[in-house]
Each structure stands twice: as C-alpha cells, then as structure tokens.
A and B are shown apart, each in its own frame.
Chain A
Amino acid sequence: MNADTEVPPIVEMRGITIRFPGVLALDDVDFTLRPGEVHSLMGENGAGKSTLIKALTGVYGIDSGSISIAGERQTFSTASDAQDAGISTVYQEVNLCTNLTVGENIMLGHEPRRGTGIDWRATHAEAARHLASLGLELDTRSMLAHHSIAIQQLVAISRAMVLDAKVLILDEPTSSLDRGEVEQLFGIMRDLRDKGVAILFVSHFLDQVYEISDRITVLRNGALVGEYPVAELPRDALVTKMIGRELADLAAIASSSHRDIDRSGTPVVKATGLGRRGVLEPADLEVYEGEVVGIAGLLGSGRTELVRLLYGADRADEGTVEVHGEHVRLHQPRHAIDHRISLSSENRREEGVVADLTVAENIVLGMQARQGWLRKIPKKDQDAVVQEYIDALGVRPANPHALVGNLSGGNQQKVLLARWLATAPELLVLDEPTRGIDVGAKADIQRKVAELSAQGLAVIFISSELEEVLRMAQRVVVLRDRKKIGELEASTTDLDGLIDYIANAGEGSAA
C-alpha cells in the first residue's frame, strides 16, 4: 500500500451536485482519488454511484461543484473530453466490438500506419506487447467474441492502457467472473496500482472490495457518508453505513431458516439420475415441503444446468422426475409450470423480464401463460394481484404501469419473484435471485422467501454468496465440475466447512 495521504490526488471532486427533474441525484458530494490506490465506491442501488462515475467520465454535466484532474480544473462536456484527460472506464457490459479481433480492439484508433494503410503486423505486435505487460498471452488475431467475458474485460483494460489512462474506472467488473478469473483481474489491478494508476472500483461483492481496496468511499441517497481506509472500516460498519439500518434483519432471517424439516413423507419434487451428456453428470435431488435446499458450487460447476434440466428449460437425456411421488415428464418449461414448479433464471435481463412491458404485465405474464391466451384474466383480478405483490415485496416505483426495463435490478428481481409467486407454485427455484442488487432489496427478497418456505413452499436457492446459501437453506447440495459431490446440513456447517467441502470433498474417493 503506497496510498498515503501525502501523494497529491489525481482526481478531486468537490461539492458535486446533479439534479434530474424531480430528483436530487447527487447532493454536495466530495470524492478524492490518489495515484497508486484502489478506491472502492460503495452504496446501494440509487445511492448515486453511477451518477458520480458518469459525472467524472463526462457523460453527465454537473449543476454545481468542481472537478480537478492532476490539480487542473476541468469541465467535461463529452465522454471523450474525460478520455483525453486520462480517464478510462471498463463497464460491466464490455463496450468493445466483439466482431473484431483482440488486437483490433486494443489498438482501435491508434493503429500504427504504413503509408495510407494500417500496418497490421505492427498493430498486432503492439497489441501483444500491451497484453504481455498485463501478463496476458492471447492470440491477438482471434475474434474477441470467442473469448470469455473475463478475457474481454482484460482486453478492455489493455485498451485503457493504450490510451495511457491515469485513472481506471472498473464498474462491476467481477459480476460475471469466476474465482480464478477474479484472481487474475485482481493481479492485474495490483500491478497497475503499483505502477501509479489510480483505480476506482465498484462491486457488490463485499469480499472482493475488502480483498482489493485501499480505501472506501460510501454514498447513501445521493449524499456522501464518508471516506475510510479499509482497515478502519469493519464489514458490519460498512453495511450499516450503506443501508442506514442495522443488520438485525438478516439475523432474523437466519434464525427463522434454522428449523427442522420433516423428511419422512413424499418429497414435493424428486429427481433421480437427472443428467445430460456434456452438461451435467446424473444427479439426484429432492425437496420437501417447507424446505429450502441451497445449491452451492463455483460458477460453471453445474448449478444452473441442474435446475434448468429439472425445469425442462433444457432437455435431460437421462433420469426421472417425480412430483408428489408421481412420475412426470418435464420436457418444456410449460410442463414444469403445469406441475407447479417455477424457475427464476439467473439471467434477469435476457431470460427474466420482458423489458418493454409494464410491471403489471410482467407480473401477470406467468399466470396468463398458465391460463392460455383464450381465457384472459379479468382486469380487476389482474389489478388486485399486481397491487398485492407490489405492496408485499415493496416494488419501487410502486407504479404498475412503469416499464420494467426502467426499474433497477433489485426491483426487476422483485417483479420476477411476484410473477412466479402469483402462479402459486409448490416448488420455487431461484437461480441467483440476489446477484447485482442492493442490500436492501436483497433483505426484502430473502425475508419473503424465508416467510413463504415457513408456510410450506419448497424452495431451491442458488447463490454464489455462500453466506447467503447457509443463511437461507436447511440443506445444501454441492456441485463441482458438473457433478454433484454431496449434501450438507446447513445447521451443522459453517462457512469455512462449506468452502472446504466445495474445494476438497470427494477428492480421489468417489471419482
């Protein structure tokens, strides 16, 4: 850590205020970024993180306040002004051209010339040099689209280096990376930090924030809460500062989840030897009434694949499924829904919400699909159901006619939860229901799921956050390398035990 306060700051934002019609998005916020530090910007959705970043990158103009870069007062009116001042941004959704090669993307607009044309050999050589300086070895002539999101992000960082960035903004870069990829990214971030680059990091993952950051700035409701060195801000203090209320809520959820489940009767759903070649080795899974079964494992371990096979989203080529002891064939989502099984996909945007329809239409969609198109649900019944779930889950804005695409991630997730609960399922499968959403919405969703399971709903709960899985579930199914490796009782397992099981269980024995 060389981020001592003596170093003159590279970015100084003072008294930043931004107004949108009817909303004070940022209210007199200060933010300081020093060379050679990783600085995390924390806050719930709507706290003003994105707005602050957009002010710094020239996307939004500021209504009052000042921005200085390396001591010089700047007014950015476009994003390219900010780029010229040495500020580069790597977004969650990579903004590169996936149909160009890696080298073309890195060097775009800065290709070495030969005569009137581009010297492709030199272009690729230089791209390779930039990649090598980040410790990456890639074929620069391969298409960007053929690489994983993780590699694409690293390419985006290389591109930022070509632009000679002094400030690198990483907005949720890790949300679709697995652990190894995160480690690789962090290695590169540390390298750049040691070379004097100032890095602004935004992530929902507290572990990652604590692992990589030197300093944390917390925002809440558009206002600055404070700036803290990481060592002086314990986790629960951070979360309390972010949400402005105590963690008693989450503790209450945990205690309500820890109860005994009667597994003597017939399970609600029982899958035996469910698998598909190249996707998942045959696995057993059973869920009883009122039980929350967690599924844990690394990204790509087969968690999503298992529930998609169960739901009929993908066709299983072996195995059987029983619902209340009766054999059923679930070859399409329709069949699963007819047997009162619902799946909320991990991919909220692509496979969840219908963005251009309203909140009400999205909530009713599941019920209406189940009824068939001929029997339209009467307007009055629709309104009643929609209002009930908007209230019960606290969807914001509480406007049934708002387009879902305009809602924040957490509220979209609540709308999806409402869609599925409205179909009165007996088994609810939630794949990463809390990914990328703020702590408040997360607590709302967890509380609702815990409450419903206490009333008898069977739930399968998948999450990358193992604390969350342990908090919600009574039993945890563990997968590794597209294979089920075992089950644990949540009451007799702690976090370290679960991590150890995921990493080491079954090594060399059952395999």
Chain B
Amino acid sequence: MTAVYKHRLFWPIVSLLTLIAINAIARPQFITITMRDGELYGALITILRDSAPLMLVALGMTIVIATRGIDLSVGAIMAVSGAVALTIIDGSGDPDALATVLIAVLVAVLVALILGMWNGFLVTVLGIQPIVATLVLMLAGRGAALLITGGKITTVNSAPFKWMSSGYMVALPVAFFIAVAAIIVIGVIERRTALGVLTEAVGINPEASRLAGVRSRGIIWGAYMVSGALAGVAGLIYASRTSAADANNAGVFIELYAILAVVLGGTSLNGGKFSIAGTVVGVFIIQTLDSTVLFLGIPSAQSPVFFGFVVAVVVVLQSPRMRSGLANLSGRLRPRGAGVQDREKAEVA
C-alpha cells in the first residue's frame, strides 16, 4: 500500500482516472467502445488517435528538458514538415502512389531532423540559451513553411497519406501505433542503453559530467535532433488529418502543451531525472481534457477558461506540498515517509 502512494506516477494516474470518471458519470457513452467493420470506435479510441501528435512532440520535449533545455520550435517544425510533404505529393504525377508518399514522408522527417540539428548547433556549439535558440526557429519556421508552399494552403487527395491519421490496423487507429512505436523506441534507447542515465547526469550537473568524460555536447545535440524528428512526424500526422499544409495553424501552441505534459508527468523543468511513462500519462491527461471540453458541450469561447481551471487543479494536486499533505492524511498509521527521514539524517551528518 505504501509503495503505491510513493510511486511518482501515482498522482498523474489518479488525475487521469478522475478525469475519465467525471466524463463517464456525466455521459456514460464516454466509455463505451463499439466495434464496426472490425474497427473500434468511441471517445476513448478517439483520444488514443488524436493524442498521437502531442505524444510525439512531448516525448522529444522530455529528452530535451532532461538536458536542462527546452524546445519552443516544435510547432513550427510541424508546419515545415507538413509543408514539405504536401508540396512533394502535390507536385508529383500520382498522389496515390505509395512510393510518392514514402519519399515525401522521408524527406519531411529529414528536414525536421536538420532543423533539430540547427537548434542543437545553436545550443551546444554557440552556447545560446535553449529558450532563445529555439525561439529563432519558432518565429521563423512558419514563414519558411509558407515559403515552401508558395504562400497558400496546399491540399492533396492522397489515400496512403490520409491513412496515417485515419487508417486502422488490428482494430486500432494507425496514428496510435505510430505513437506507441515512438514510445517504445525512445524508451528502449534511453533505458536499455546508458543514454538515459548519461542524459540525466548532463542535465543535473553539466560540468561534473564533462569532467567525468561524458560527451555532453553530443548528448544535448542528439536530444534536439530527436525532438525535431519527432515533431516532423507529428507534423505529418497533423497534415494527414486535414490533407492540407496549413502553416498558420499546424501545431499552434503545441510546444506549451508538450511542456505541460512533461511537467504533469513528473519531470522537472530543472532537468535531470525524467520519466517517459510520466509524459505518456501527461499527454493522455491533456488529450482527455481536450475531449472533455467537446464532450460536455462547453461553448468554445469558454473552453480555454475551463481547460485552464482543470489544469490548475491538477497542478495543485501534484504539487509537492499537496502530495505530502494528502499522504499524511491518508496514512496516519504509517511511519513518516522514508524520504523525509533520509533527508534529516543527512543533515545530521
């Protein structure tokens, strides 16, 4: 019992389940899932599908934040990636050809990777503060995307491209599988290799890590590249959903939602220790909230207020002071938390 309370994912998961429960009580069909033509439908399935772009961006953001950085350019990179892909598909003779779409996707992700590399260059080689370095691309990126599409909203009609956002595999949306693949790849790279712990070391104490021989420049640079590439994929899913490259609306504010997801998942903005699983839960919290707004029929003019209110409640619930307060309330019989004891002992020493 005590172990469950202490787990760092306890409160994020409680927040998510509470949100789902509120929805289910308000309108029971929220949790109903139906099977049609071998494909699952329902509000929860929609959340899985629609969370994919934010999931990809937030995963990259987690790694960047772990290095003590931040990446504000992800929304703009999404716009660029969509613009590149649609321009290639639009310019080809056969938009429905799989080869065309594959090339478009690969080029778009490559461009996003290069943009991430640019961010990494500014941060590691030139030593510019991450928030400033990525602000450059955040401001310039959408302009570049408009330049690529020639100032208009490029639209295409391509079945294979559309499949990314609305297709199904094994009864579940394709976009969900893309997100799961990203979670697994990032999780394996960070935790099965030593990259995760080296990233944390760099984030906690860059100078000590450098003197310990950690290639901190490479690690930080790599984090921005990963973030860029994932934002590129997110941009493709977004463009696929609308079949359009809308440079002004693709991924607007997504950098802020991604940061929020990372924080809700328990990763500190001070860098260091990070949690992939926490970010995943954080993304689901935000996406569920987003559907709640629609589902409860809150007028769109008021929805930001509602959104902000719920986020405020969740953040307060997860604040360290609230957590220890609740833990004490719910466990009067338990001895005081081991963490508290350790700290006090350390002060004695």
Contacts and interface: CB of A to CB of B under 8 A. Distances in A.
A354 B347 contact: no
B193 A376 contact: yes
A32 interface: no
A46 interface: yes
B345 A365 contact: no
B342 A337 contact: no
Contact of B342 (A25, A350, A402): A402
A314 to B, nearest CB: 11
A45 B349 contact: yes
B78 interface: no
Nearest to A408: B349
A20 B213 contact: no
B192 A366 contact: no
Contact of A354 (B193, B194, B205, B341): B205
B194 to A, nearest CB: 4
A122 interface: no
Interface string A360-387: 0100011011111111110000000000
B212 A20 contact: no
A241 interface: no
A361 B208 CA distance: 13
A356 B272 contact: yes
Interface size class of B (residues with CB under 8 A): 20 to 34
A365 B192 CA distance: 16
B208 A354 contact: yes
B344 interface: yes
Interface stretch (B19-27, B128-136, B195-203, B227-235): B195-203
B195 to A, nearest CB: 4
Interface string B94-120: 000000000000000000000000000
A343 interface: yes
A343 B211 contact: yes
A373 B342 contact: no
A369 B200 contact: no
Contacts of A375: 193-194
A407 interface: yes
A480 interface: no
B7 interface: no
Interface of A: 20-23, 25, 45-46, 48, 50-51, 311, 313, 332-334, 337, 343, 345, 350-357, 361, 365-366, 368-377, 402-403, 406-408, 419, 423
6 contacts: A21-B340, A21-B344, A21-B345, A343-B211, A350-B207, A423-B213
- Across chains A and B, which 4 residue pairs bring their CB atoms closest together, nearest first? A406-B346, A369-B213, A337-B213, A376-B194
Given A51-B348, A333-B213, 14 more contacts: A21-B340, A22-B341, A22-B345, A313-B210, A333-B212, A334-B213, A354-B201, A354-B209, A355-B205, A357-B204, A369-B209, A369-B214, A373-B219, A377-B194
